[in-house]
Amino acid sequence: MQRNNKRGVKTSLAQDQRRTTMNTMNASYFIEKVGHGILNAFLLAALPIALFTTLIQAF
């Protein structure tokens, strides 16, 4: 299927869609999610250690 782009040049729908998908933004969102997952894992691992040290200091 062909259609005219903004300049009036005929392009296929696949070419036009490839230009507007912003693949780099999708990759950066993926990297952000991975980073948040790693950070959450470290924070969750620190909770029992913090609880243990608080109990030790209380006695």
| pLDDT tens-digit series, residues 13-50 | 555 555 555 666 677 888 999 999 999 999 999 999 99
Distance of CA 43 to the CA centre of its chain: 19
* Helix/strand/coil for 4: strand
Predicted confidence at residue 28, as pLDDT, reads 84
* Helix/strand/coil for 17: helix
Predicted confidence at residue 59, as pLDDT, reads 85
Q: Which residue has the higher pLDDT, 46 or 9?
A: 46
Domain ranges of the chain: 2-58
Q: What is the pTM of this model?
A: 0.49
